[in-house]
Chain A
Amino acid sequence: MNYSGLKIFWEGLTGNKGWNKVWKEPTPKKEYDIIIIGGGGHGLSTAYYLSNKFNVNNVAVLEKGWLGSGNIGRNTTIIRSNYLLPENQPFYEFSLKLWENLENDTNYNSMVSQRGVLNLFHSDGQRDAFVRRGNSMILSGADANLLNDVELKELCPYLDFENARFPIKGALLQKRGGTVRHDAVAWGYARGADAKGVDIIQNCEVDGFIIKNGKCIGVETNKGVIKAKKIASCVAGSSGKLMSKAGIRLPIESHVLQAFVSEGLKPILDNVITFGAGHFYVSQSDKGGLVFGGDIDGYNSYAQRGNLPVVEDVCEGGMAIMPMIGRARLLRMWGGIMDMSMDGSPFIDKTHIKGLYFNGGWCYGGFKATPASGYCYAHLLAKDEPHPVAEDYKLDRFLKGKIIDEKGQGAQPNLH
């Protein structure tokens, strides 16, 4: 069924009786060409691009909970392509281009809103670094504008420009960056994959691999054994736990990241503001809530909730740049489990076990990567060759000294 304005109008007049289920609820087949483990954003976009762009349809997505129960439904929805390193920037720009056409591609309203992302700077040194970053963005075909304090004041007069510790001197603006309705992304991809014959199987947890003669030929699940020619792990924060079942150790630790929403307010913020020096970022949702977040909690954990010291830290960051939000009340907060890699960069690669593939290590920045991650993973799965923009995301980069440390912070998750 195609969605359109006319269809909504017609259904409105005829009692909304003509809507179909968005995806089916199939029982798993005995065997598939490809099994994708994890029905988060990346798993579903992989299934979508496999079936819609690479003509591989005999595919199943196995999700242990419901679609959107993981980080895809927990993140703060920011998209951007403002990276510095040549291993990263072309990939994220490819992703942003896919975002720009996502709603046409999937015929689903994902509320892609290119409202602009601002990165604040506070010193000459930081300004120089942002000029360099902006140039690297432009080289990859992305857009970047450097705003001085006068130009920024016109956009965001309420910022605390005179802050004693971090006076605001300007910002790097990416106009094409913005936000997307996160769970609609999962639903849109799921619907598009389902329409091409992909089986999306919820409440199906993988708890083991069947490996024969060094080749992975299937998975053990709570719904029985399911076989496949290729098995693609895509479980974000659960990567370490799942891959250990195949005896694979990863340069990844799982950490909690929290997000916060204030009570609904009148429109005050029409872009995304990030305050890197204090680690605070914020946007306003269409319902009026301020959506914001900051640092990871900083210790290896699978408890899907965070702790109070970070709450305080994040709120202090907010108060430092936008004192006007001081009287807004916090409505909700929650945590998600991040697959923090040692250098802060992801993996889209084969493993040393034949037929077993790995996608993970997205840290707290994997939402913006959702389309490109799925596209490149689908490319790898369909052709057994990495997509050119993702060819550096290899598991053996730590063996070769080729780490991709975007922030130049060093090799430990709680530094990124």
Chain B
Amino acid sequence: MFIINCPYCGEREQSEFKAGGEAHIVRPKQPTELSDDEWAEYLFMRKNIKGVQFERWVHTHGCRKWFNVVRDTSNDVIKAVYKMGEKPPTK
């Protein structure tokens, strides 16, 4: 089990959270103007990185807030957490 440091509540067990997948996928500003290909790209295509990934989690059984996590997907080590809307850490 890993411990996740919720930016609002502090350290809690993983089972309180739910993963929300890749972060920073920007919702298109004018969805009606997208082609089917662009729409599918936004909805379904993923980087699926092996290594350091920026992703979203939600504290389902806690404050119920969404936030971002930087995790190495090759060994599940969490490097950083930051709030929604904040810039991802560069180091």
A and B are partners in one complex rather than unrelated chains: yes
Min C-beta distance of A93 to chain B, whole Å: 28
Complex contact A249–B41 (CB within 8 A): yes
B45 touches A307 (CB 8 A): no
Judged by DSSP, the binding face of A is mixed
B74 touches A303 (CB 8 A): yes
Taking CB atoms, residues of chain A closer than 8 Å to B75 are: 303
Q: Which residue of A lies closest to B37 (CB)?
A: A399
A250 to B74, CA, bound (A): 19
Contact of B73 among A250, A303, A342, A400 (CB under 8 A): A303
With a cutoff of 8 Å between Cβ atoms, the chain A residues found around residue B2 in the complex are 307
Answer whether residue A300 sits at the interface, using C-beta atoms and an 8 A cutoff.
yes
In the complex, are the beta carbons of B1 and A309 less than 8 A apart? yes
State the CA gap A306–B33 with chains docked (Å).
42
Complex CA distance for A241 and B2, rounded to whole angstroms: 24
B interface: dominant SS = mixed
The interface residues of chain A lying within 8 Å CB-to-CB of B53 are 300
B32 within 8 A of A: no
Contacts of B43 in A (CB 8 A): 398, 411
A253 within 8 A of B: yes
Interface mask (B28-45 → A, CB under 8 Å = 1, otherwise 0): 000000001100110111
Indicate if the CB atoms of B19 and A298 lie closer than 8 Å: yes
CA distance in complex: A159, B47 (Å)? 43
**Interface-central residue, B44, B48, B75, by most chain A CB under 10 Å:** B48
Give A414 to B41 CA distance when docked, in angstroms.
Answer: 19
Known: A241-B50, A253-B48. A300 touches B73 (CB 8 A): yes
Q: Are B45 and A250 in contact (CB under 8 A)?
A: yes
CA distance A307 to B15 in the complex (A): 10
Q: Which of A363-416 contact B (CB under 8 A)?
A: 398-401, 411-414
Query: Is A334 an interface residue when CB atoms closer than 8 A count as contact?
Result: no
In the complex, the chain B residue whose C-beta lies closest to that of A239 is B48
Please judge, given known A-B contacts A309-B14, A399-B36, A414-B19, whether A302 and B50 are in contact too, CB under 8 Å: yes
Q: How far is the CA of A309 from the CA of B43 in the complex (A)?
A: 29
- Asked whether A253 and B21 contact (CB < 8 A) given A300-B48, A301-B73, A303-B74, the answer is yes
Nearest Cβ in chain A — how far from B26, in angstroms?
A: 15
**With A240-B47, A250-B45, A251-B46 as given contacts, are A302 and B14 in contact (CB-CB < 8 Å)?**
no
Candidates B1, B18, B37, B46; contact of A298 at CB < 8 Å: B18
Partner of A412, one of B21, B40, B48: B21
Whether a CB of chain A sits under 8 angstroms from the CB of B76 is yes
Q: Which residues of A contact B44 (CB under 8 A)?
A: 251, 342, 398, 411
Q: Are A307's CB and B46's CB within 8 A?
A: no
How far in angstroms is the closest Cβ of chain B from A200? 25
Q: Determine how close the nearest CB of chain A comes to the CB of B23; give it in whole angstroms.
A: 11
Give B residues with C-beta under 8 Å from A: 1-2, 13-15, 18-19, 21-22, 36-37, 40-41, 43-50, 53, 55, 73-76
| Chain A residues within CB distance 8 Å of chain B | 238-241, 244, 249-254, 298-303, 307-309, 342, 398-401, 411-414
Q: List 9 A-B contacts (CB under 8 A).
A: A240-B46, A240-B47, A244-B48, A253-B21, A298-B18, A303-B76, A307-B76, A309-B1, A398-B40
Closest 4 CB pairs of A and B: A240-B48, A299-B19, A251-B44, A309-B15
